[in-house]
Amino acid sequence: MTRRDIEFGAEGVTLRGWFYPSEAAGESHPTIVMAHGFSAVKEQYLDRYAEVFADAGLNALVFDNRNFGDSDGEPRQEIDPWQQIRDYRHAITYATTLGEVNDDRIGVWGSSYSGGHVLVVSAIDRRVKAVVSQGAMVDGYRNLRRLVRPDFLGGFRAQFDADRLARFNGDAPATVPVVDENPLAPSALPTADSYQWFTHSGSTIAPNWRNEVTLRSVEMFGEYVPADFVEYISPTPLLMLPAVDDVLTPTDLAIETYERARAPKRIEILPGGHFDIYTDGFAQSSALACDWFVKYLVG
């Protein structure tokens, strides 16, 4: 599999990633634009999905979100969901400048936090002709309240307010770990499977992943509700792939969001938990996504 490093401008910030050219014959092909979820970098299994797509005759354009991995951007380790949505659109624009890309056959793929992003992107950007959203974070307001004990929420709000005042006075943004071995310790993603997946993948395949995000990233997570856009995706074909035992981005919220979407749409509920999608469930999740894109982008 041949891939090449890419970089492109995004409102003054350089984003970097990989381009996987289609293995099919011909000069231009449908292209899937891909980025990762909350704090993750492209090395955390996105190469495997891109390879499946390229083998099936699709180009794949994979990039690190701004402020993370190989991409530029400040402050480092800060996640602004709306900026990441704009960067998906910058990546689509960049893709259309490449000779290998068929401008009329663009798909977007997202997972976890970016699984929510692609719901928004496909609703507002009609260059997108097919979308796959796996393990999606669909409602940050409700999701945060599933992850954080009610008696801890007041403490979080106090930290957000103190950080806002400190930034106003010129201090650097406060940070918190993405994960912690103790689920009751302060962290952005306080589940046992989050700790296991991030620490394992970070130590084995993604050494540039950092266990840190700005506190403001958690605040913005709780303000972000991509489900509000799902009714506007149609007529773009939507495939949603929630996991049956997802405790990080709860399964019932994803199913509820899917029910609000209009046709053409399909849902497949995958076995296991949130992170099994990338590992034990990779063959199934990648095949379903690939088949969806081939159906609607290749025909």
Q: Which domains does the chain have, with CATH numbers?
A: 4-143+225-298 (3.40.50.1820)
Of 4, 17, 194, 159, nearest to 88 by C-alpha is: 17
Instruction: Report the pLDDT value the prediction gives residue 154, as an integer from 0 to 100.
Output: 86
pLDDT tens figures, 228-251: 999 999 999 999 999 999 999 999
| Rounded Cα gap, residues 95 and 121, in angstroms | 15
| pLDDT of 122 strictly over 70 | yes
Instruction: Report the pLDDT value the prediction gives residue 155, as an integer from 0 to 100.
Output: 84
The more confident residue out of 147 and 149 is 147
Instruction: Report the pLDDT value the prediction gives residue 233, as an integer from 0 to 100.
Output: 98
Displacement of CA 189 from its chain's centroid (Å): 15
Interacting residues of 79 by C-beta distance below 8 A, sequence separation 6+: 38, 39, 65, 67, 68, 113, 213, 214, 217, 220, 221
Of 23, 22, 27, 28, nearest to 102 by C-alpha is: 28
The pTM of the full predicted model, rounded to 2 decimals, is 0.97
- Contact predicate 213/135, CB 8 Å: no
Buried b or exposed e, range 235-258, using 16+ CB within 10 angstroms: ebbbbbbbbeebebbbbebbeebb
Instruction: Report the pLDDT value the prediction gives residue 242, as an integer from 0 to 100.
Output: 98
